[in-house]
Amino acid sequence: GSVTSTGLVVSSKLPRFSDLYTISIASADPKSISAGKPVELTKSVTQWFTKDGVLVEGLFWKDVEALINNYAAEPKKKK
């Protein structure tokens, strides 16, 4: 689909002194007819770490996979 025909731009940001981490996925060629709408996830990094500071990779990847699925989902057509 659009992932293989246009490529993707994946970016992330974590502002200094903030716990809010943002991951964005967009088409490398947004003007392409096969390009999906950009999607973004912003979440506190505290949701992915234990109280001892250990990353719980499964929780992180679950959110990343949901974001990818959201990007890849077919747009709803109006009836």
Confidence of residue 4 (pLDDT cuts 50, 70, 90): low
SS3 sequence of the chain: CHHHHHCEEEEEECCCCCCEEEEEEEECCCCCCCCCCCEEEEEEHHHHECCCCCECHHHHHHHHHHHHHHHHCCCCCCC
Confidence of residue 15 (pLDDT cuts 50, 70, 90): very high
Minimal CA–CA distance to 1: which of 61, 65, 73? 73
Give residue 70's identity as a one-letter amino acid code: N
**Residue-level pLDDT at 5:** 62
Write the pLDDT tens digit of every residue in 40-75.
Answer: 999 999 999 999 999 999 999 999 999 999 988 866
